Structure 1
Amino acid sequence: MVKIEIFKISLVDDQEVFYPGQPIEGVVHLQLNQPLQLKFLRLKLCGRSQSKLKLNHTGHGTTTHRDEELFHSDVMILIGKENFDRNEIAPKIDEGSHDFPFRFVLPDGNIPASYEDRNGNNIGYFVEARIRRPWKVDEVAQKIFNVKEIIDCNLPEYNVQPPPVKKEWKLYSLLNKNKPIILTASTDRLAYFPGERIEILDTKVVNGSSRTLNNVKLEFIQKITYKAREHKLSRRKCFRCKSSNQPIKPDEVFDWPNLSVVVPAASPTLDCNTLITVKYFIKITVMVPYSFNQYIKLPVIIGTVPLRYDGQLPPTYEEAQNAENTPDASLPNYFDCVERSIGYLDFDVSNLYRNKDKDEMLPRYPSVFPTEQLYTLRSIRFIELLIFISRLFHMKLALSYYTISLDIHSKFRIEMINIELKYLRRMENNVLVYFASA
């Protein structure tokens, strides 16, 4: 019986990270103990994105929606061909060790960077080798690699001051004598590298109403959007938050000078994929009493190449990763900002797992979502109901190893284990509730 002892893919210099337009070179290793007859040995370079959403539908529970997009594919036939005639004889490979070199080139265009979270949403790149034999199951070997998108903050379209964003609205009253409230702000440029400072220019609020405004608040927000067919789910995370702590009286003009925000060590902007997008913006909100708060959004792009200053030469990839020549000494290096950022190429030895053939180690990526415990009003009301029933019937109620699973915003789940409710004789004593989050 023919046995394939070794069938794997290795890349030159064991390179794991590539950039758009860069060649991918490697070797397919095949070792046989007997001659092997096959139809073809095919090699395929794929770039694929997958999304997985769990949405709550009223009265219908939770529904999982999935979608997949193959945004890049390149095929190479190393041996044989895909279409054989009936009378045509399939080729044979002699026993022993065989090496098949290959070379692909990534598109020199706008391809998305590698991305993965714990919920099954991912953007991945891999090289797949497939052996097809007559009347046999295909043998498949895969090699996963990562791609980093180049977002150069020095490009003219990024290193330019955008026009100010302006919003105007009125607070209606019975006499309708209020003048409009005007909010304006802008940033000094569009793209920033992690660790750089965003200067917020011309932040001004003109209060033409007869009502005193509470204050002005600034937030730096990350927005991750997942799409699966006609469904969409967005997650937001606030990295920075500032408040003016100053009320704005009627007919008063408020200026917020020297306003700036430091860009956190977060994953770069990802907006060239149809299923997964990562965007950033600065949200400036006017807190209006007894009415809806009004806000404007200033778009921000987090890049992978820092801004160069006069007299500074363009850095190489290695220099950009080290980022030692950055003018501000407080700036983190490229590895801390990009490779250790949330949900973006972050893995270590403890996060490795073996693939099917147990010959290579593949990275696991962390979640882009916060891991702190979440408790909802629904769970608290359920516990209060149990306490009320125990007191009503004067019972000693003990629930051990009771698990409650709740779906929070269609994604998060709470595990509450070992809940003990003990009714005491005196009503003023508290009922002890222990939560252990799994």
Structure 2
Amino acid sequence: MTQLSITTDREIYRPGEEIRGQVHVICDKLETCEALRLDYKGVIQSRVILGSGKHRRIYENVIPVIDNSETLLEAPEFQAGTNSFNFTLTIPRDAPGSYYGHNGWIQYSVSAVIEKKNWPDKTESTPIQIAWLASNPEMKSETIHWPYDKKEESPLELDIQDDVVTLGKDFTFKFRVQDQQKLREVRAYLVYKEQVAPDGIKEAYLDKLGSWRIPDSELTRNSWIDVRLNTSNDWPLPLMSELVWTQYVLRVEVDVPFRFDHVAEIPLKVFYPFETREQESETDTIFEWEKS
């Protein structure tokens, strides 16, 4: 019986760095094969599923970031016990970071493959996590009044004095509702919005991170009401890739009985005074400062 495993020198890498690791082949007796191969892959993927049953349709785009294979050993003999072999791989400098979303993913892996004649290849894979390199550009704050077009009729008005969200600090804005508008409540969210468009089919997933609400009974009509939304420096930064992109938006909903809600979505800029976290998992999206 032959077992495979892969170990690497670190859990998180930055674009441009080297991955140093070992392939371990564990045998209970002398084994031979045609080759020991190493596959190094990275993909950006987006997928939207519409319908169900026989009407189910899958729209998917995949772009390879890395697709390399190399032979570590030709016609090796593996001794009984643990046989370890070193490898070194280089991450492209322009590689996007790892991302694990709802309809989009950016994933990397290293696989060890034993090629044996007349037998299925034996394969063992391990994920490779790559950090996003984030710069800290100067954020120019802007004041936003919504609706943008003053001629547009809307029961809801928003006043945002600063459209920059500093993660870890409260975000504030004001709103007011017209006297005659019937409603149940007003809800406000800070939303991390993931967007994809495989084969031109657009889909957005809203992760509502910060929330606030006020019922109609506590609402003073036609008066400006202050709202304060909490944020956390554990929240992710917006990211941009060829198939999946994310942004923060302020989403305010007026819950109207027996009708569609009135909804306003305002894109926001984000400032992230972060430090690298010590605890990560394989499904975290990690951001680090870009070296100047």
Is TM-score (shorter-chain normalized) higher than 0.5?
yes
Give, in angstroms, the shift of residue 282 of structure 1. Answer: 0.7
C-alpha separation in 1, matches of 2:75 and 2:25? 13
- Count of residues paired in the alignment: 274
Aligned partner of 1:280 among 248, 252, 256: 248
Q: Give the Cα–Cα distance (whole angstroms) in 1 for the partners of residues 163 and 92 of structure 2.
A: 28
The 8 Å contact of residues 186 and 298 in structure 1, kept in 2 or not, is answered as: no
Structure showing the higher strand proportion among its residues: 2
User: How do 1:334-349 residues align onto structure 2 when only pairs under 5 Å count?
Assistant: 335=279, 339=280, 344-345=283-284
Show CA shifts across 1:19-74 (max 9, x none). 43443210112355446352x433232222445543227xx754041525244215
Greater RCO, 1 or 2 (C-alpha within 8 Å, sep 6+) = 2
Amino acid across the alignment from 1:268: P
**Structure 2 counterpart of 1:126, which letter?**
S
1:115 corresponds to 2:100: yes
Q: CA deviation at 1:224?
A: 3.3
TM-score norm. by structure 2 comes to 0.69
Quick check: 1:161 aligned with 2:141?
Answer: yes
Are residues 296 and 233 of structure 1, via their aligned partners in 2, closer, same or farther at CA, if it must alter by over 3 Å?
A: closer
Q: 1:183 to 1:21 in 2, by over 3 A?
A: farther
Q: Is the 8 A contact 2:38 2:72 kept in 1?
A: no
Greater Rg over alpha carbons, structure:
1
Question: Which of 22, 30, 45 is matched with 2:40 structurally?
Answer: 45
CA RMSD of aligned residues (A): 4.3
1:238-253 mapped onto 2 (5 Å cutoff) = 238=208, 239-243=210-214, 245-248=219-222
Structure with a larger share of its residues in helix:
1
Which residue does 2:8 correspond to in 1? 11
Q: 1:141 aligns with which of 116, 121, 124?
A: 124
Identity %: 15
Sort the Cα spacing of 1:55 and 1:192 in 2 relative to 1 into closer, same or farther, 3 A.
same
Matching of residue 67 in structure 1 with residue 64 in structure 2 = no
The alignment partner of 1:112 has SS state of coil
Tell me: CA distance 1:74–1:56, structure 2 relative to 1, closer, same or farther (3 Å). Answer: closer
Q: Gapped runs of 5+ residues in structure 1?
A: 81-90, 173-179, 249-253, 307-314, 323-334, 347-438
| TM-score, with length taken from structure 1 | 0.50
Give the residue type in structure 2 aligned to 1:198.
F
8 A Cα contact 1:204 1:255, kept in partner: yes
Matched, 1:190 2:164: yes
> Quick check: 2:143–2:162 contact (8 Å CA) kept in 1?
no
Q: Deviations over 1:413-438 (max 9, x none)?
A: xxxxxxxxxxxxxxxxxxxxxxxxxx
Provide the rounded CA distance (Å) in 1 between the counterparts of 2:267 and 2:198: 27
CA contact (8 A) 1:46 1:74 kept: yes
Give the whole-Å Cα distance in 2 for the aligned partners of 1:141 and 1:171: 59
Which runs of 5 or more structure 2 residues have no equivalent in the other structure? 286-292
Deviation string for 1:225-253 (max 9, x for gaps)? 454434343333443124482211xxxxx
Residue aligning to 1:218: 188
Q: Matches of 1:264 and 1:62 in 2, distance apart? A: 41
Aligned: 1:231 with 2:201? yes
Task: Decide whether aligned partners of structure 1 residues 93 and 219 sit closer, same or farther in structure 2, where only a CA change above 3 A counts.
Answer: closer
CA contact (8 A) 2:113 2:123 kept: yes
Whole-angstrom CA distance in 2 between matches of 1:291 and 1:136: 60
Q: Residue 125 of structure 1 aligns with which residue? A: 108
User: In structure 1, how many angstroms separate the alpha carbons of the residues matched to 2:30 and 2:263?
Assistant: 74
The structure-2 alpha-carbon separation of the partners of 1:169 and 1:295, relative to structure 1 and needing over 3 Å to count, comes to farther
Look up the match of 2:32: 36
Contact persistence 2:111–2:125 (CA under 8 A): yes
Check 1:106–1:162 CA distance in 2 against 1; reply closer, same or farther (3 A cut).
farther
Name the CA shift for 1:138/1:294 in 2 (closer, same or farther; >3 Å).
closer
Contact 2:177 2:221 in 1 (8 A): no
Distance 1:93 1:265, change over 3 A: same
1:102 and 2:102 correspond: no
* C-alpha distance 17-191 of structure 1, shift in aligned 2 (>3 A): farther
